[in-house]
Structure 1
């Protein structure tokens, strides 16, 4: 979670449920913009009468058109990534909601403070269970942009992933720094998670994703899960699409 608020009358969310409540209901007070982001990405504080935290707000109106993704869909893809993350139970994606904000509807996500002592280029090369879970998650959502800067190890030891606006394409677009396990058998933990996820995608989770993705995109997500279970292995670069994001960090 983000750091405790300065205001002594407020406290930071104690868990993800409180964080989601805060993000849905809180008043957003913008403080600045992340200038290195390709789409408009604003940061600020979000507060209710009792809770406060830092947040990231990406208005749909600030999305840059892309040739391979429909206009105005990136916020919905971010929400979809959070829903899949929650269903998998690994908390890869920080608490995220879709709501109205100062510049219209957009994605609002809890700001995560990373561990400044971690050397990211070295960290992403580690055989770390959290990174391996993230690699499985990215294969499910077809993440086209897993840069090093989109990986946030926290001082508490949890590892989050952010910036999931270009996920869920119906075409194979996996681009990631996390190819360490390419072609290797999936851990038993991942197989169990994928089996459960497949069931949920055919049920309530699939219906919830239909609010943000096309039916074909949801169906292709189901197929990616089925293929991972069929092979029992981490995917390998296809050779038809650049395997690494650029820039990598």
Structure 2
């Protein structure tokens, strides 16, 4: 998420589209993310990710391409100088829809089984369909809520099936200095595991700069439940990004 002061833009675009809109703000973004993950499921690994984003493009508020490079050594420390190609992900957020008084931004994600070796990926084509909303809480606080269903739609017949429902509830606090603090709870219901539920909790601090650069540092832990899809035991994540 782009870290700007809440209220500077409509709340929906602040959280769902990262602060870009059709009339003002950056149009492109690039970031480098390093994640060290303990006991991650196949899609939650120790890896480096290169991300490209486009904002306010035609019918979309956000188009994103993630190029993950999981480490060949898949423990918490990993092997950052020995990367492999992971499963590439493409995401598109169409223009918001309003349901009653609540605006929702739809989300479509396509994950492709491009990992090499394929043991570093899910070996499945995955489709994610969801929607996100956000709004003010008090003063500089905002909230965000995401609901998403993920399914395997094709791929290797002997690979583990994918069918899960996830939610993300976050609270973001920002300051005029450009600093921010965010807490996120991410529960997941894994239907392949007979509806078992697990969750991770994350806390993230960051700083934005006037020239379009930003950094964030996040730490996360399992909050409850078994190792269902999309959860992990522990994680530390450092992100450096630029928007222009």
TM-score normalised by structure 1 residue count: 0.27
Q: Of Structure 1 and Structure 2, which has the larger fraction of its residues in strand?
A: 2
TM-score using structure 2 length: 0.28
| More helix as a share of residues | 1
